[in-house]
A and B are shown apart, each in its own frame.
Chain A
């Protein structure tokens, strides 16, 4: 009797211990999943759109100007009435993977579901678990303000037929695991193609043009090609320079600015070394030398040589103290301009805008107090801006073309935020 009782007690104790252990394990597991989801939400840069300036985290309401009207981002906090509190993990996966709301409604492709469709179910579930764990915010979504006929969601069906192919990422067995991890991040959560691919009049990108660069609508910044070494192709960059650029915003070859500063600030700086390296390996792998474009300056030779000689005067007075008389800079903080693809590439939009507006690279963990470029819009005339940009695009072996005062003037009114 006595021994039976003690055996029973012992087994109860053992059961209790086992139950405790399982509970602890389950808790560990769910907090692990939430932490992984938070990391992946960073990789997807969800906050860039779903958090408004001075707004609560992921409560939406940020205005997204598009050529078709203004969209307002949605509340993705777990509030049951105004957020996604009533959604299941299936519902969430459906929006990420298929671009449809739980009721089947069509989502505007400003939400990058054409990229997120590549995200695995496990990663989607982790992001959902993380979003379930944050503070719910009761904040109603603002209705979109789209012009006729774009306010008709049925039009999205046409867009989807042309530009959307649903399906998770398929690893390429001929490539390394690292390359495939990089491809998964760049093509999927990173949704790099949303800017770095040309966007046509219908607001779409064809598969064959992926990562070939384009002017970002509404923002008037040029997102350079990631496949051409003449633009932002990273084929002749070292892996370290690429990872430095992605993680800290500065590198020995150049710094990020404009919309890419946002991406590094909100997303890339939080990625771990392995994932950053994987992205670098993939990005280096897809870049290739492309034939130089015909040296087609629209400016008459006499005008461009006058511009360039004025440009050297402006450069020596205003720029050389930081960027060096030979365009060598003091990298990583004062970027080199000689052999800098961002200066030389066919579109001169970015160098003109940098001279006009200046800019700071993002403050990151790796570079918390970045050095900034002064804005020269108020100090230099259109002619001087064109001259100095023409000079830096053609001096020191740079192979860009001169730009006109008219191009400089047009970019004075480009939106700044």
Chain B
């Protein structure tokens, strides 16, 4: 009898505690990363899939190490884009890491490739540069680092699929002019330095026409060796 009374008191207390906790969380935002990164979503989409604005990139499914490097670079101002520099300025490393992990772990479907606005010849030139490079001008193929499937490699090399031509060409341009830089040796700055305007247009256009592969996940670290040193992806 006494035991039953005690048990029933215990149950009541437990229920009261749960009720209390529920009431408290009802007045609080959800304790999730999704709620914490809502500031990112107007430009990058709810799951990092990108938006209709061609200059805002897809984040979803990119390697966490790559995303983290970009967050650090925006926070310090090394990579210049004032709205991003401003948002991240006072956020600590572990939080930026958690944001990178969050978007790396999201896998919304890749968009349908957009019809290209350039000629077949330009697309063919883009394909040639992206898949074979141009040894005579010291231009490596995109696939030699970003992978045969262009899905990137863990932890630091991003995939190049699901991005619009304008974004890719803006980034290559930023590297050529030195407004986007990365850890030394800054491999992309070296590569972009060898590209002409026409090369940039062609490569960006061809990459944007690529259909989603069956598995868009970045390949594991060390799947292939990089042709040259890269500060963002120590071998």
Contact = CB atoms under 8 A, between A and B. Distances in A.
Interface in A211-261: 261
B29 A322 contact: yes
A172 B39 CA distance: 46
Contacts of A359: 39, 86-87
A65 interface: no
Given A53-B77, A54-B76, A322-B29, A375 B83 contact: yes
Given A265-B90, A333-B29, A371 B95 contact: no
Interface string B33-77: 001111111110000000001000000000000000000000011
Nearest to B75: A53
A338 B156 CA distance: 45
A352 B27 CA distance: 26
B28 A330 contact: yes
B82 A415 contact: yes
Nearest to B91: A363
B42 A368 contact: no
Contacts of B28: 330, 333
A361 B87 CA distance: 9
B170 interface: no
Contacts of A54: 76-78
A416 B95 contact: no
B138 to A, nearest CB: 29
B202 to A, nearest CB: 29
Contacts, number: 86
A371 B36 contact: yes
A334 B28 CA distance: 8
B197 interface: no
Given A362-B90, A368-B95, A371-B29, A416 B42 contact: no
Interface string A4-28: 0000000000000000000000000
A375 B84 CA distance: 10
A363 B92 contact: yes
A374 B37 CA distance: 9
Nearest to A365: B92
A53 B92 CA distance: 14
Given A378-B53, A416-B83, 6 more contacts: A54-B76, A358-B87, A362-B90, A363-B92, A374-B39, A375-B42
